[in-house]
Chains A and B, each alone.
Chain A
Amino acid sequence: MDAKAKVGIVLIAVVLAVLPFVLAHVGTAWVRITNLAILFCLLSLGLNIVVGFAGLLDLGYIAFYAVGAYCYALLASPHFGLHLPFWIILPIGAGVACLFGVLLGAPTLKLRGDYLAIVTLGFGEIVRVFLNNLSRPVNITNGPQGVTLIDPFKLDGFSFSKSETLLGLTFSGPIKYYYLLLLVLLVVIVINVRLQDSRVGRAWVAIREDETAAQAMGINTRNVKLLAFAMGASFGGIAGGMFAAMQGFISPESFVLVESIMVLAMVVLGGMGNIWGVIAGAVLLSFVPEILRYTVEPLQKAAFGRLIIEPEVIRMLLFGLALVLMMLFRPAGLFPSKTRRREFAAAEQQHVG
């Protein structure tokens, strides 16, 4: 690592460390939005393992997020009267999500890619239907009302929901979560980077490019794909647990198909398989609704005197457009990794010739 890179890293670290206080100055809402953006980074990185590295299109990824979130909510809320500490629940959530990933993956991973997409989509819907209906005859998920009063993260006396003042700086709840999320994100990034160049990571890429060839090279494609699925799922589970703790309330409404597609859009926009691109994509798309709220709304009100197209709709239209346009013009993502760009170029040449 040369000196320039070191200076760059220090600079980024300083900016990230100061960021929440600057944002809090503008409004605590912005810290919350940033936290959600980091959460989406976690989700996108998880999905990136499945879609980007292994090339398996998973359209029900949010189901794992839901599983993690419900795990946390049920084990740390008055709903069952359980209040386990988060450092026990998060691994449980990751484990259960991983189990679901294996349950879904084991029978379906031998299918070709597009079938897999549909099955995962169906799986996502099934999970949501169950979350909605598992309130009778035994109330497990509390149905559409969701679970409320979920415990925040607590470590002995240190609660992540309370404000504290340290060295003249006010650490509000969201700011504390911000640092925690940043830490988790860092860990996940490190895991991802290490995975990418590992034996498993290279096996994933080999499968993505040509499954038959990968098999011929002695890769146990089924197990390696299953591993991708399970890892992606457990990252989703962890993100879900953190989401439940941060929000304090979850309901099946948070885990609809559109969310899965949003995460997919983030991965696609940043460039499938490219860790930094995916993070950029996640941050970009997480802030789009907020940016729209502050630009499109006043613009429309000024032009027409009222709101004609809600920012929410514009956001969804943009997501759809992003998916289409990216695939048409920059299939390797906005910030493609070198290998990925080469692969797509090769694929194109092959078909032209």
Chain B
Amino acid sequence: MLFSLLHPANGKPFMEVFLQQIINGLTLGSIYAIVALGYTMVYGIVQLINFAHGEVVMIGAMVALTVISSLAGANTGMPPLVIVLAGIACAVPVCMGVGYTMERVAYRPLRGAPRLAPLITAIGISIILQHLAMLIWSRNPLSFPQIIPNPVFEIAGANVSGVQIAIISLSALMMLGLTALVYRTRLGTAMRATSENPQVAGLMGVNINRVIASTFVIGAGLGAVAGVMVGTYYGIAHYTMGALLGLKAFSAAVLGGIGNLAGAMLGGILLGLVEALGAGYIGEFTDLCHVSWISTGLAERCAQDGHVVLMGSNYQDVFAFLVLIAVLVFRPSGLLGERVGDRA
């Protein structure tokens, strides 16, 4: 079985396929990381899973889509890159507004309520946002305008597109910026103090409400950019796109250790890699023809079709959850987290 892995069926040499999946995984992973940062920041400060964060990402993609396609359609003569930046510039404040409103309306009144309560409002908000988006942007998948030229480079036999490079570098920039914000500014210090102990931070003169609201706003802003990246990468936007993305990003945050910034980044990239490699190789791994000796019927089918694949790449979405469950079972505090989940 291992031997045949080195020579996958599609004829491409092992290293090239492997490298290609690594590049795809890195791209996907940096998007996950950016979304996961939104989860992890909010969780670090108020111990709440902001269920609706995925919806914020979706709204970011949708707003950018509207702006970009109307600007591109209007023949303004603007260079494509400026148009995309304008899309991002519109999506970010809209999402920040959504994030702020969410916090004010649904989460702040429930601070100190039983744990289940904010979680249930979060689900409610998520449904409301999804269906509002459906009303505004239609229930059909929309094609995301791909206006920037997307040159494809070849590195050691694997293809890297300009969009992939842009996504990876933009994500890296945002992660650096966020780290600087959290560890170098007054607001960041206040955020860390609040996550350490809100009561004491309040006594020290930190305006907790403002800090928590800013955390939501910053997370939503990052989410908006992630939304634009997803839209550009896949070339499609749909009102349900946030749900699965959010779940995967949350898994990434848990994988890295929820509440931990570096953890979210690491978890996101790891999850992206796991998914890409998993999707690339699951067909190989579950090809029953490796064990065709177990039954003659199987051997016949193998001789006929060459492959009897038990699980194809359509199981890609399962990996994130398997990772999530595995992490929660074996190391609930995540890879880098020091907080251990004990209270129910």
Contacts and interface: CB of A to CB of B under 8 A. Distances in A.
Chain B at the A interface: mostly helix, strand, loop or mixed?
Answer: helix
Contact of B325 (A108, A136, A344, A347): A108
B121 A323 contact: yes
Interface residues of A, number: 51
A316 B324 contact: no
A112 B342 contact: yes
A111 interface: yes
Contact of B308 (A126, A129, A137, A207): A137
A115 B343 CA distance: 11
Contact of A313 (B111, B131, B310, B342): B131
Interface in A87-131: 107-108, 111-115, 117-119, 121-123, 125-126, 129-130
- Among A126, A261, A320, A348, the one with the most B-chain Cβ atoms within 10 Å of its Cβ is A320
Contacts of B341: 111-112, 115
Contacts of B114: 331, 344, 347
Contacts of A121: 247
B115 interface: yes
Contacts of A323: 120-121, 123-124, 127
Interface in A227-266: 257-258, 261, 264
Nearest to B343: A112
Chain A at the B interface: mostly helix, strand, loop or mixed?
Answer: helix
Contacts of A344: 114
A133 interface: yes
B311 A133 contact: yes
Interface string B219-262: 00000000000000000000000011001001100100000000
A107 B118 contact: no
B330 to A, nearest CB: 9
B328 A115 contact: yes
Interface stretch (B28-36, B267-275, B313-321): B313-321
B131 A320 contact: yes
A317 interface: yes
A137 B288 CA distance: 9
B303 interface: no
Interface of B: 48-49, 105-106, 109-121, 123-128, 130-132, 134-135, 243-244, 247, 250-251, 254, 288, 301, 308-312, 314-315, 317-318, 320-322, 324-325, 328-329, 332, 341-344
17 contacts: A51-B116, A55-B344, A108-B325, A111-B328, A111-B341, A112-B115, A113-B116, A118-B250, A119-B328, A129-B317, A319-B124, A319-B127, A320-B123, A324-B128, A328-B109, A331-B117, A351-B112
Pairs of residues from A and B, 10 with the lowest C-beta to C-beta distance, nearest first: A323-B124, A351-B112, A122-B321, A320-B127, A320-B128, A324-B124, A211-B344, A107-B329, A320-B124, A327-B121
Given A125-B317, A133-B315, 19 more contacts: A55-B116, A57-B119, A107-B328, A107-B329, A111-B332, A113-B115, A115-B254, A115-B332, A119-B328, A129-B318, A133-B312, A261-B127, A320-B123, A320-B125, A323-B120, A326-B120, A327-B110, A327-B118, A327-B124
Interface of A: 51, 55, 57, 59, 107-108, 111-115, 117-119, 121-123, 125-126, 129-130, 132-133, 136-137, 207, 211, 257-258, 261, 264, 268, 272, 309, 313, 316-317, 319-324, 326-328, 331, 344, 347-348, 351
